[in-house]
Structure 1
Amino acid sequence: MKTTLRLLNYLGIIMVLFSHLDLNAQSANSTKPELRDFKVSGDIIQNSEIIGVVADNLGPLPGANVIIKGTDIGDVTDFDGNFRLVNAYAGKQTLLISYLGYESKEVEINVKDSKQINVGKIILTAGSEKLDEVVINGGYRSSQQKALNLKKQSLAIMEVMASDAIGKLPDRNAAEAVQRMQGVSIERDHGEGRYVIVRGTPIAWNSTLMNGDRMPATEGTSDNTGGTRAAPLDIFPSEMIEFVQLSKAITPDMEGDAIGGSVNFITRTAPSKKTLNINLGYGENFQAQKPVQNASIVYGDRVANGKIGFMISGTYWNRNWGTDNYEVVYEDNLALNNLQLRDYLGKRTTAGFNAGFEYKPNSNNKVYFRGLYTDFTDEESAAEHTFSFTDSEMSLRVRHGVTGITLFGSEIGGNHKFLNGKLGLDWKASTYDAEMGNRKIPNSNYDGEPSYNMVTFSAPVTYNNLTSDGFKFLDIDSPAGYNGDHFDNIQPYLSQPVDGSQLQLDNQIAFKSYSKETDYTGQLDLTFQPTDKLKFKAGGKYKTMKLERGAPYSYYLYLGGNYGAPIPMTNYKTTEFPYNGGYLSEIGSPYDDVLLNPIDKKELSTLFSTEALSNPMLYEINFNKENPSSAGSFYSGSENVASAYVMSDISLSEKLKVMAGVRYEHTYLDYKGHGVTQTADGPVIEEVENDNDFGSVLPMLHVKYMPTDKLNLKLAYTRTFARANFSDLNPTETVSMLSTPSTISRGNIKLEPTYSNNFDFMGEYFFENVGLLSGGVFYKSLENLIYSARSYETINGELYQVTQPTNSEEGWLAGFELGISKRFTFLPGFLSGFGVEANYTFADSEMNVPLYTLNETTGAIETSTTTEKIPNQSKHIFNSALFYEYGGLTLRVAGNYKGESLAVVQGNPENYRWYDKNFTVDFSSSYKINSKLRLYLELNNLTNEPLRYYQGNTNRPEQTEYYSLRGLFGINYNIF
């Protein structure tokens, strides 16, 4: 009942907004004629069709409305500006072409019996002199027009972003480009966007597609578990993107695993005309105090009378980065276990290559090829001071390593038309491969296999300002008579200063990571359009996926304290602590007097040379498949998914359109791992293999009602799902009989996917001068939510405490969103160049989670249910931008806000881990010197917003890190 009332309240908010609009008034520039009694000369010729392209002087115009005047026979142009009208009337007709922000155009044609009429390229011009003044060719407005027209013409609830909009924002990877869209936020890694989140839902509930196929994953969330399906988008340069489609309510011809939303990146294929563009940029990361470079080139052309088109692009992005970080670990009673001071420096390099080719022998047939390759390298070093209050110890750990990710993809496909355009056949075969692993550290003395290397020096110390029983607290948790520290000034209070000679070699670790996923996909789609008001579509898709996960490492414990002379840190060459702009200067640099100089990075690599590791004072432990402590982290899996769908588009009237259909996906899983059993005689490791399969029936219905040419009302019901993460399906089972009760930790191949029945309503009001007012509500009824459960089982008379992922009973997620995009063209003169874009999304959720507790008195297992928020779901998301565009000048200030979200449920609510709210502000500007040359300036993180996690209370930080400002200045040159 509460959920229903909440949904009605959200709906009421939207309806009140639209009640103030004149729904009955037709626009003076209405681009769609009213249906009326109109006798057209001639009879309907069933085998006639009209084709053509709509464009402006910059290129194709997707989403243009093309209609035969006086009828309701029409079409909407695709991404390449193409349109096709079937069942045209015979005789002389008039085509009416309309596009938001452009002057409508009429074209006279003569339709002949059983003929295909190709009207060629129809060029549209800007809608008014005032709009022409606002922006010279290539301004942000042209991109906004494309996005709004595609959104307006779409029957589904979706957002669109074009490549020229991406190029005018200070975003250099795919995730940061998408964050500007309504209802979208991102998760960052060292200040750089990595994962996309739609409507505040968990990352795992959002699918990321490349040309309609799900991108392979190489790692997990920011905790580096390597077990999620999320694809890291910081490896993918934004320059390689042609369009981004964000579907908030998917259609049956899309992959069904998208509860939050589906983000589809469409890469470049072939241009409409000869193109050569060069982009060069240079800047600085002010935290690292080192440079940032960016370069890209795009070349494409059409030859053989336009029948052959190709495009190739390459991009290189090299950026140094730095992070100042402090972290706190708490005991269950909220006392501080330790304080960690971390300073990171690194360099990330992304190199990408994209190629597209198409052969179009005639208007009815096209064969195409796409290929892409990106290589992402992240070199990272860190100096970490750890003050362990409960152990009376201080340590300094230095680490250095290089991680690389490669993504390769290729696809070949075709589009074919038969029966004069009524029957369409589309096919595609594709493969994508992503691999992550360690790479050789440059300029190092390490001669072993590539690894991420860490070495720790430590010393016993005495801390002051502890309670009488030896604990340290923050001020908000201080017991009576104790003076705790402020959260942004947690001091170790050493009884006496510590220098490098007191820190002794403790241990060193060589960590190797490996992850790989390979996908092969084939699909076939058939479209049949018997009339202009009815279209049927059906198709099938088969995908096979294979993955490997593993992270071996070698741990070396130095035994000098017991068997030989201690080795102080001063025995090694040290380097000045990398203050790089002042360590934690944002909070007053409170730790300058306790920071020590770490060992040099080259010296660190020497400690891992073959000669150094042969030291008899090093006790080596290999954490690999043969070690019971690590065997469970090595697993592989295969998934085969067969899917089919049927759907239809029906125009019930000029104003009412319906899309209905159903999709079926059958998933087969086969995973291999390792089971570890702890017995009285020692651990036993066995290979484990489990399989499972399940089918998913996904009905969908979309309704679009257009009371006026300016207003869309869209309603959708969709059923979608989210498969379990890879790590949850890992068949590993670890059994320990050395505790009371004995414990079992295992994966769960029998997990059901999380299903969601989604209800969406969206209203869209389009302003005449290229703008939009939108609002909507959404509700998701959830089944089988996946969470980590702790329960008890009795096996052969023995009681075990079992930890494994399982499905909860039910839950829900609901909310509303509002958005506005408005240009102030009503203002006089240069002031008419101002405009604003803003959108807000509110979401709330609940999930029912069973609890199993052991009554220690009776020995009985007691069951209860608790209600929790869905993990990683943000209640508030807000995007805003103030822009100015006049003549050749474009200025834009953009803000992105993501509200707090529950990250980890642990202990009681005071121990829950939360992701704190985050608001970043970016600036971009450009000046178009002429039709070919543009200068630009980009600045990110103007307010130096920190990333924060806290425990239970925002004044109880777990992690706080700062990235400072980064900027880029460059030129963009369109040679032709």
Structure 2
Amino acid sequence: MESNLLIHKKLYLFILLLVCSTTLLQAQTIKGNITDAKNGETLIGATVHIEKGTYQQNTTVKLDGTYVFKNVPAGEYKLQVKYVGYKTTKEYTIEVKQDEIAVLNVAMVDNSTALNEVTITEHAGKATDRSARSDEKNSNNTINVVSAQSIAISPDVLVSNVLSRVSGISIDRSSTGDAQHVIIRGMDKQYNTTLINGIKIPSPDNKNRFVPLDIFPAGLVDQIEVFKTLTPDMEGDASGGVVNLVMKTAPDKLKIEGDFGTGYSQLFFDRPFASFDHSTVNSKAPGEINPGGIASPSDFPYQNLLTKTGNPPPNTNASLTIGNRYLNNKLGVLFSGSYQNLYQGSNSFAVIQTNDIGPAQGNSKQNTETGFQDTYNRQYSTQLQRLGAIASIDYKFDNNNVINLFATYLELNQYRVRQTQDDTYGGYTYQGYRGTFSVDNLTETRSDLQSIYNITLSGKHKISSPFSLDWTVANSQATHKLPDDAEFDTKYGTSPTTTTNEATGNPAEPYVSVAQGVTNGPVYVQNESRTWTHNTDKDLSAYLNLHYNVKIFGRTAIFSAGGMFRHKTRDNFNDSYNLPNTIVNGEPEVYTSIPAAKFMFTGSDTVNAKGSSATDPGVYTFVENIHALYGMVKYYITERLDVIAGLRGEHTYQNYYSLLPSYLPGKTATITYLDYLPSVNIKYALTNEQALRASYYESILRPAFADLIPYPDPIANEEYSHVGNPYLQHTVINNYDLRYEFFPGAFDEFMLGAFYKQLTNPIETELAQSTTGAGGLSLTPNNFGNATNYGLELEAKKFFGNIGASVNYTYTNSQITTLKTITLNNTLTHIDQTRPLQGQAANIGNASLLYKDQKIGVDAQLSLSYIGERIAAVSSYYGLDTWERPSTFLDFSAQKKIGPHFIIYIKANNLLNTPYQLILKQNNTYLYSGLAKLPHQESADYTTLQYDQFYARYNLGIKYNF
């Protein structure tokens, strides 16, 4: 045995020595960096060639900025580097000794002809990752930048979805499952603004200022910039941040790009898609065609309420970009267009809170909020037609004078069928669930038409060596139309059979009737609703900025001053009709079909027959003028330290007129205020790759237009009406920011930041009893005193050869204390409750695993996004705020280059089928597992108010680049 053990030991020793010697024999390595001789930027993709006699190898510079030849025989090699746009290097001689690593770093000189072509143009290319990193590094502000190159290989085709992966940003979603609005650093969407090429654009939203970002196809942009601090030359109503979409501009040479793809939603593998003929929709309401007239049932054709179901056709998306320069490169022209025809939807469950709920209960009792009257089971089927087009013309007169004419048109038309089963509950249970008293089946067809156009003329001029100026004039318009939002309703009663009383264990409901069966009554036609709404938001804006460069104490100082003016007009129209059903022998008409259903206005029913437009407070006009002046200086105190400081003044004038009755407050108003907004931004460069940034700025939030007008708008939300508040005040915010930046490699980066915000009169939307006489609960904006919001932000990206990892994480904590209604010891009272701000999630993060192989032309990305819980709606009751549950999304994308011009790609979104959930944080024992359960409850610890599922989506396509 000892002999065998000795043999084994010798064998192991021999194998170990063999492995070590083999490793040593193959340990020779050649490696290094390839950079631009002028600016030191790493030249990703440069080809490095080595040879020794007949031995030859090639490799490329990887994403970590290095090239590597491993396991080469010892000896002397010739090394040469080639890169498009750069002069091929001389042949370098490098010697590799046994068991050693030889390092050779090479700086390349760019081709002089190519360099001249680039410098003669005004617009530097913004589409590359290198440009995005450079902008982050050199910006005056704290900023995150996403390039078109990154967007192209991401799983996203919309700007809104791209933004969901940016540090510090969370999103909310529409009924189609797409990201729609951004929440930056815990500041709700109303605190953020959207720009196109630095110009604010109006919103097609029928109530709010913020722009629905799902209207933007991602393929139209070169860069997406997210500014998280402001300088005095920026408008002051962006406390969370500014989303600036840098659109494509004329290239340096002929550019032709195309994209065609298709896809499908997994949702429609499991259920059919419902559609209607939207060409039959009346574009105008009877009250618009015949103002003040009496409508008849014939004015409301039924054809747009007829639906059909089946498998939807595959999705289609296509884009084309063409651009070039002419007249010795002085004139640049570009056109880019994008079209998408998509079929999407969701399955939704919701319980409806009513005014019969009663106040929250204290003393550890279960809240009576769980006494829900209705639940909705809904299926959404939506056809989305998204069109985007831009045109850009720039002309460079000489090195000192450039003008640019830019135009864009964006359109998002959604044709939606919403099928709802509305269960109204009775006082019994059946098969372990609450039994129904009646069931409504509602079919809604909606044509939701949104558009934005913008035309901008701008110029940059250098007057003399120290003086320069730039100017912009812009005309923009956003429209939103909902022509004939129609809903057809049928209803049948239900009643229990053979009931027995059983104990529930629930003190609030000790016994319940248990039914052995349920009998359904006949199906009756109910009243029909038809609504026309539309709004238009027009902006006429002008900007002027003057700059003066001077030396102070031998250091550069740049003085800037300027101003802007915006004239905004908004009009809103609403005309609603309630078509009474036909009563036959004291009973509603029995339902047979939609075409057979009869509706009639009685002779005395002039209210319904006239519609609402003549007296509807939702019909209003709104005028807003913003005047602003600013002055600032950027001073380079040392080579590493610079400061930007200044003051901005913004004067706000608002006037609106509505059809609200004159005896109610808020019919009309004129509002003016003046804000002085100081700011300072400091940047200290620790090294060429590292910097510290610190800033302070003051900002504001102006209330949304309809937030000031107290009328119930049932269209704004799927469940509850929105009612404005004429006493709403604008919000003032003090913002503090600190960030450390480190850019160690070509695409590697590390950022660690902190922020703190003080809010005076923050605006939040409260779910409370309606005060308009409409009854039930409604959503109303209010000022809730003062609040704070602070957090930490981390972002890191690192490449190891062809493999990279990207992570970002943001922790946010906001606090506001407000009075809430509660019942204690059977007495109605009010107590303070401290909670987060609406929309703020404590934890949000993104993680991506990246693979890039430029040699074979493969890119792949697996992305995970997480959004923590947050308040979706503030309740007037203690402890009954509506919370959105945490969500995790998994997406994947990959593309492969085929030849010099083609790329095939695949994108897959929402692979985890992550639901959208709204809850109440309260005891849910009896609704979750008692004798009278409520459907779709997920836990005994919280009550599920809404549960939506969107399912995965898949896209496959091909791109062409010339």
Indicate yes or no: 2:811 matched with 1:842: yes
Match among 249, 263, 273 for residue 283 of structure 1: 263
Assess if the C-alpha contact under 8 Å between 2:661 and 2:667 holds in 1.
no
Assess if the C-alpha contact under 8 Å between 1:308 and 1:360 holds in 2.
yes
CA distance in 2, matches of 1:862, 1:750: 24
Assess if the C-alpha contact under 8 Å between 2:601 and 2:608 holds in 1.
no
Partner residue in 2 for 1:393:
438
Aligned CA distance change for structure 1 residues 271 and 788 (closer, same or farther; 3 Å): closer
CA distance in 2, matches of 1:33, 1:935: 35
Deviation at residue 158 of structure 1 after TM alignment: 0.4
Match among 735, 738, 744 for residue 761 of structure 1: 738
Indicate yes or no: 2:779 matched with 1:810: no
Residue by residue over 1:154-204, the C-alpha shift from the partner in whole angstroms, topping out at 9 and shown as x without a partner, is 232101112222222222222112222111121111201111111121111
Structure 2 counterpart of 1:339, one-letter code? T
Aligned CA distance change for structure 1 residues 846 and 30 (closer, same or farther; 3 Å): farther
CA distance in 1, matches of 2:178, 2:519: 37
Match among 237, 248, 271 for residue 268 of structure 1: 248
Aligned CA distance change for structure 1 residues 672 and 666 (closer, same or farther; 3 Å): same
Structure 2 counterpart of 1:120, one-letter code? N
Structure 2 counterpart of 1:692, one-letter code? I
Match among 885, 891, 901 for residue 932 of structure 1: 901
Aligned CA distance change for structure 1 residues 823 and 619 (closer, same or farther; 3 Å): farther
Structure 1 counterpart of 2:423, one-letter code? F
Partner residue in 2 for 1:908:
877
Partner residue in 2 for 1:349:
385
Q: Which ranges of structure 1 fall in alignment gaps of 5 or more residues?
A: 1-26, 35-52, 59-80, 82-101, 110-117, 124-138, 220-225, 439-449, 485-491, 573-602, 678-683, 735-744, 793-801, 825-831
CA distance in 2, matches of 1:463, 1:907: 36
CA distance in 2, matches of 1:757, 1:241: 32
Match among 218, 238, 241 for residue 258 of structure 1: 238
Deviation at residue 791 of structure 1 after TM alignment: 12
Aligned CA distance change for structure 1 residues 188 and 607 (closer, same or farther; 3 Å): farther
Assess if the C-alpha contact under 8 Å between 1:30 and 1:709 holds in 2.
no
Indicate yes or no: 2:453 matched with 1:430: no
Aligned CA distance change for structure 1 residues 517 and 625 (closer, same or farther; 3 Å): farther
Assess if the C-alpha contact under 8 Å between 1:200 and 1:877 holds in 2.
no
Structure 2 counterpart of 1:211, one-letter code? N
Aligned CA distance change for structure 1 residues 353 and 899 (closer, same or farther; 3 Å): same
Match runs of 1:296-695 below 5 Å: 296-330=319-353, 331-332=357-358, 333=368, 334-390=370-426, 392-420=437-465, 422-438=466-482, 450-462=483-495, 495-496=517-518, 498=520, 502-531=522-551, 533-560=556-583, 562-563=585-586, 566-568=589-591, 571-572=592-593, 603=594, 606=595, 612-614=598-600, 622=608, 631-676=616-661, 688-695=667-674
Aligned CA distance change for structure 1 residues 747 and 927 (closer, same or farther; 3 Å): closer
CA distance in 2, matches of 1:362, 1:425: 15
Assess if the C-alpha contact under 8 Å between 2:851 and 2:861 holds in 1.
yes
TM-score, scaled relative to structure 2: 0.73
Structure 2 counterpart of 1:344, one-letter code? Y
Aligned CA distance change for structure 1 residues 323 and 482 (closer, same or farther; 3 Å): farther
Residue by residue over 1:290-315, the C-alpha shift from the partner in whole angstroms, topping out at 9 and shown as x without a partner, is 32110000000100000100100111
Aligned CA distance change for structure 1 residues 537 and 550 (closer, same or farther; 3 Å): same
Assess if the C-alpha contact under 8 Å between 1:370 and 1:412 holds in 2.
yes
Partner residue in 2 for 1:786:
763
Assess if the C-alpha contact under 8 Å between 1:199 and 1:877 holds in 2.
no
Partner residue in 1 for 2:187:
201
Partner residue in 2 for 1:235:
215
Assess if the C-alpha contact under 8 Å between 2:576 and 2:613 holds in 1.
no
Aligned CA distance change for structure 1 residues 733 and 175 (closer, same or farther; 3 Å): closer
Aligned CA distance change for structure 1 residues 108 and 934 (closer, same or farther; 3 Å): closer
Residue by residue over 1:295-351, the C-alpha shift from the partner in whole angstroms, topping out at 9 and shown as x without a partner, is 000000100000100100111101001211111225441123222211111200011
Aligned CA distance change for structure 1 residues 105 and 622 (closer, same or farther; 3 Å): farther
Residue by residue over 1:884-930, the C-alpha shift from the partner in whole angstroms, topping out at 9 and shown as x without a partner, is 11131111011221111112222434432111212111111000112
Structure 2 counterpart of 1:495, one-letter code? G
Assess if the C-alpha contact under 8 Å between 1:462 and 1:494 holds in 2.
no
CA distance in 2, matches of 1:713, 1:464: 74
Residue by residue over 1:912-959, the C-alpha shift from the partner in whole angstroms, topping out at 9 and shown as x without a partner, is 211121211111100011231111001111111111111224631111
Structure 2 counterpart of 1:936, one-letter code? Y
Local SS of the residue matching 1:911: coil
Aligned CA distance change for structure 1 residues 633 and 769 (closer, same or farther; 3 Å): same
Match runs of 1:167-178 below 5 Å: 167-178=152-163
Residue by residue over 1:342-369, the C-alpha shift from the partner in whole angstroms, topping out at 9 and shown as x without a partner, is 1111200011211000111211111111
199-208 or 460-469, which deviates more: 460-469
Assess if the C-alpha contact under 8 Å between 1:425 and 1:526 holds in 2.
yes
Structure 1 counterpart of 2:916, one-letter code? L
Match runs of 1:218-233 below 5 Å: 218-219=204-205, 226-233=206-213
TM-score, scaled relative to structure 1: 0.72
Residue by residue over 1:695-726, the C-alpha shift from the partner in whole angstroms, topping out at 9 and shown as x without a partner, is 11111111111111221111111111111122
Aligned CA distance change for structure 1 residues 381 and 747 (closer, same or farther; 3 Å): closer
Aligned CA distance change for structure 1 residues 899 and 388 (closer, same or farther; 3 Å): same
Deviation at residue 760 of structure 1 after TM alignment: 0.6
Aligned CA distance change for structure 1 residues 478 and 180 (closer, same or farther; 3 Å): farther
CA distance in 2, matches of 1:716, 1:493: 67
CA distance in 2, matches of 1:32, 1:717: 37
Structure 2 counterpart of 1:900, one-letter code? E
Structure 2 counterpart of 1:460, one-letter code? G
Local SS of the residue matching 1:462: strand
- Identity, % of aligned pairs? 24
Indicate yes or no: 2:148 matched with 1:163: yes
Residue by residue over 1:391-440, the C-alpha shift from the partner in whole angstroms, topping out at 9 and shown as x without a partner, is 711111112121111111111111111213x32111110011111113xx
Structure 2 counterpart of 1:432, one-letter code? S
Assess if the C-alpha contact under 8 Å between 1:673 and 1:732 holds in 2.
no
Higher radius of gyration, 1 or 2: 2
Indicate yes or no: 2:682 matched with 1:703: yes
Assess if the C-alpha contact under 8 Å between 1:642 and 1:667 holds in 2.
yes
Structure 1 counterpart of 2:258, one-letter code? I
Assess if the C-alpha contact under 8 Å between 2:527 and 2:581 holds in 1.
yes
Deviation at residue 756 of structure 1 after TM alignment: 1.1
Aligned CA distance change for structure 1 residues 768 and 789 (closer, same or farther; 3 Å): closer
Partner residue in 1 for 2:307:
none
Q: Which ranges of structure 2 fall in alignment gaps of 5 or more residues?
A: 1-31, 47-84, 86-104, 120-124, 270-311, 359-367, 427-435, 714-721, 770-777, 923-940
Aligned CA distance change for structure 1 residues 405 and 618 (closer, same or farther; 3 Å): farther
Partner residue in 2 for 1:99:
none
Partner residue in 2 for 1:741:
none
Indicate yes or no: 2:106 matched with 1:120: no
Partner residue in 1 for 2:840:
873
CA distance in 2, matches of 1:327, 1:746: 21
Assess if the C-alpha contact under 8 Å between 2:500 and 2:515 holds in 1.
no
Structure 1 counterpart of 2:538, one-letter code? T
CA distance in 2, matches of 1:367, 1:658: 30
Partner residue in 2 for 1:188:
173
CA distance in 2, matches of 1:805, 1:965: 35
Aligned CA distance change for structure 1 residues 122 and 237 (closer, same or farther; 3 Å): closer
Local SS of the residue matching 1:147: helix
Partner residue in 1 for 2:946:
959
Aligned CA distance change for structure 1 residues 451 and 748 (closer, same or farther; 3 Å): closer
